[in-house]
Amino acid sequence: RGPGEPFYFLTMLPYTSGDLHVGHWYAMAPSDAAARYRRMRGRLVFFPIGFDAFGLPAENAAIKQGIHPHKWTYDNIDRMRGQLKSMGAMFDWPHEAISADPEYYRWNQWFFLKFYEKGLTYRALAPANWCPSCQTVLANEQVLPDGACERCGTAVTHRDLEQWFFKITAYADELLDFSHMEWPDRVMTMQRNWIGRSEGVEVAFGLDVPGVEDKELRVFTTRTDTIYGVTFMVLAPEHPLVPLITTPDRRAEVDAYIAQARRQTEIERLSTERDKTGVFTGAYCRNLLSGEAVPIWIADYALAWYGTGAVMGVPAHDERDFEFAQQFGLPVRVVISPPDWDGGELREAFVEPGAMVNCGQFDGLPNEEGKSAIAGYLEQQGWGRRTVTYRLRDWLISRQRYWGTPIPMVHCPKDGVVPLPEEQLPVLLPQDAEFKPTGESPLAAHEGFVNVRCPRCGGPARRETDTMDTFMDSNWYFIRYLSPDYDQGPFDPELARRWVPVSQYTGGAEHAVMHLLYARFFWKVIRDLGLVHGDEPFLRLFNQGQILGPDGQRMSKSRGNVVAPDVQVDRCGADTFRCYLMFIGPWDEGGPLGLQGIAGVERWLNRAWNLVLGQAGFGGEGSARAIRHLTHKTVRRVTEDFEEFRWNTAIAALMEMTNGLTQARDAGPVDRDAWEEAVQSLLLMMAPLAPHIAEELWERTGRPYSVHAQAWPAGDPELAREEEITLVVQVNGKVRDRIQAAADIAEGEAKELALASPLVRRHLEGHEIARIIYVPGKLVNIVVR
RNA sequence: GCCGAAGUGGCGGAAUUGGCAGACGCGGCAGACUCAAAAUCUGCUGGGGGGCAACCCUCGUGCCGGUUCGAGUCCGGCCUUCGGCACCA
């Protein structure tokens, strides 16, 4: 660490999956280069590392190989730590944190209690994948594409369980604010779409069902202008009104439909490709605006959790509703007139703007105006209210698993759900639980764990046996890194004040939505608890791409396309492998990892080695300007590339510089000062990329340890400037000549040169010059007729 | 299906705002060095056509269309591949 302003450089912590994968190198080696660069730019850099240690794979290993999840995880950590060290990264190892340590997860529990106190948690029924044969909850990953259990092949169904939620929706609007963050546009767009804010109206439709006249059917719509066009209603199969309104003659069919809907995945249900399905409940509701009776259907394209779980069917002006109406022969009523409509049947839904028709008092209004006019009317009549709905759902944090953070709550027959007092933390995960699938949540079968005294009444009670989603661990690990041994709270507040938020975060694009959204939410909550300052946890974000096997497929042992970093490091060295990963292409694109090209990087590092240690002949003062120009041009290019994580072009520039210097040396004596400056600059720029080789060369050339503690070379723009340019001359946009010219050539002179070129004149013959376009320093385009 | 990206020589890729398509590297071919090989170094290397030659012409950035003096880059419509889709992390 050098002196200077703090700079927190964070790379996503690795999951303890086993051996270190090339993907880890691809994520971390460039991050290390960037962190080293920041340090050379004079910042006090914190670059920590840790392990994301809870999760399903540890339990799978336990079940398949009979190894305890704790042993599996910590053995993996030991191996990965050693492999990480071979990378030569400047990781701050004394600050390592491991999420499966009780010293870590006790604070997950502490945060959970704080969220509970703040009213940000609640319990509700939520569906979980359920294998009726194994009698166990399955993760999505454990359900095969055809909907079968990966263990036994039985068809997986859904089962409702009482589970814990965090109210992330309470922060939905704030999470839409990305100002003051330097994040990739695509990540912000994905988060914006994930949150999916829509403004609309919640409208009540009276129920025409004997016995439930006191209830009403509420629908959310952004299209109030189409309410007169409602010809049916669609409820989610799980909608609570369904059992109440279904007529006896429809019940069997409705129940069968609900059962089949429970087997569908959400992606299947929302697919616009497949044919619409649904059944009629036999019940009707009343369209308060038109006074008409509207049949109520259920269909799986309505989702219980979105809006009110009910969709008003306007087939004339919504594509899905149109398809549904076609499928079931429901009427289509046009209420927004297509421009050349003859009053006949529509062939497809009309979703463009237009004038309202068949809308009583609202006829003739442009539909955009009709939207607010009808919304206002509904509010005035007390039939509806303007509201905002989000696609974002609250965060289901419960997992029915062993290898995670126990939720610090107690269920008391007398007092209900009771939080544990802070002093009783941590709730330790018992080492001797039966984590093999038995039909019950693993912790539920552990008598010693489950039975507890109620903190309120002291009577016998049961512990909560769900554990937390592992995304809880990754919400705040970067703050724990600051003081991993701190035991007075989750982190040392003094250090937090100085070091967070994170200056630069790097990690895989696969985390663009979930982890990065949960972590932002978590930060905002603990900010409101007064624990941290600032509105965002990660000021700058860079997502690297995913590295694939040489065959372009995702690397996996079963495909046999795994590139093991250890093997490569043994063969060509850590620096070569690091540089190669940075050289293969833009960091945010990833892609297939062939190993043919590695020789090029190896040769470059060898050439640089020989250049630095080889003898140059001095005394050639005439070479000074050219060498200095090369040096400062390269410094400028490499600096710009480093700022934007463009490693591939930075390395290309350094290769060009190495080649240029080699040529200059071989051409004859060189200017001593210019040469020394060039070699020194080259070493400094190589240092973040190839830390071992740069250090070795730095020392062997008698320079003071360490190259990594030096300042980044300062580029002189005057020396970097090109004196000559290639002026491109086009006729009608086709290149006809290239003329060397002074960089500051005047427009008139450039045009004269262009018109004087014989190659150009050939193409002007017999034509009239219409105009001449001049782009300073670049080109002249002569437009002819 | 929905949301977000990407598609350029034999291969990885370059082209900062619309202005020389193919930087840098791999591979290939030819040559130097060597008894020989390896290593290293030098030159050439998108397709087609023309020229003894220096060179010149022409086509070319997934596909179809458009805007522009000029499009890999912008717009509209497709195709393919990749990431995410809430219990993999």
Question: Can you give the three-state secondary structure of A228-262, one letter per residue?
Answer: HHCCEEEECCCCCCHHHHCCHHHHHHHHHHHHHHC
pTM score of the predicted model: 0.94
Cα A71 versus chain centre, distance: 31
Residue type at A578? R
Whole-number Å distance between alpha carbons of A158 and A138: 10
- Residue A306, CA distances (Å) to A238, A310, A320, A381, A497 in order: 12, 8, 16, 25, 39
Residue A143 DSSP label = B
Q: What's the CA dihedral at A451, A453, A459, A460 to 10 degrees?
A: 0
Contacts of A282 (CB under 8 A, 6+ apart): A245, A246, A247, A249, A250
Residue whose CA lies closest to nucleotide B5 C1': A186
Residue A146 DSSP label = T
Which tokens hold the place of A459? Answer: 């009577």
Task: Label the pairing between strands A547-548 and A591-592.
Answer: parallel
What integer pLDDT is reported at residue A1 of this predicted model?
A: 42
Between helix A69-85 and helix A56-65 the angle, nearest 10°, is 120
Prediction ipTM score: 0.95
Nucleotide nearest A393, from its CA to each C1': B86
Residue whose CA lies closest to nucleotide B23 C1': A652
Task: Label the pairing between strands A336-337 and A293-298.
Answer: unpaired
Whole-number Å distance between alpha carbons of A640 and A785: 43
Ramachandran angles phi, psi of A186, nearest 5°: -65, -30
How far, in Å, is the CA of A103 from the C1' of nucleotide B40? 57
Q: Find the helix or strand (DSSP H, E) in which A730 lies.
A: strand A724-731
Task: Label the pairing between strands A591-592 and A467-468.
Answer: unpaired
How far, in Å, is the CA of A526 from the C1' of nucleotide B76? 47
What integer pLDDT is reported at residue A216 of this predicted model?
A: 86
Residue whose CA lies closest to nucleotide B71 C1': A733
How far, in Å, is the CA of A689 from the C1' of nucleotide B80? 35
- Quick one: CA dihedral A285, A288, A291, A292, positive or negative? negative
Which tokens hold the place of A1? Answer: 């660490």
Task: Label the pairing between strands A50-51 and A97-98.
Answer: parallel
Q: Find the helix or strand (DSSP H, E) in which A774 lies.
A: strand A769-775
Residue whose CA lies closest to nucleotide B85 C1': A267
Whole-number Å distance between alpha carbons of A595 and A592: 10
The reply to whether A509 has its C-beta less than 7 Å from any atom of strand B is yes
Residues 576-605 of A with CB under 7 A from strand B: 583-586, 589, 591-592, 594, 596-597, 599-601, 603-604
Burial zone of A669 (CB within 10 Å; 0-12 exposed, 13-18 middle, 19+ buried): middle
Whole-number Å distance between alpha carbons of A561 and A592: 10
- Tell me which residues of chain A have a pLDDT lower than 70: 1-3, 437-440
The reply to whether A721 has its C-beta less than 7 Å from any atom of strand B is no
Whole-number Å distance between alpha carbons of A263 and A240: 18
Residues 378-397 of A with CB under 7 A from strand B: 391-393, 395-396
Assess contact for A542 and A588: CB atoms under 8 A: yes
* Helix, strand, coil percentages, rounded to 5, for chain A: 40, 20, 40
Which tokens hold the place of A726? Answer: 């290639």
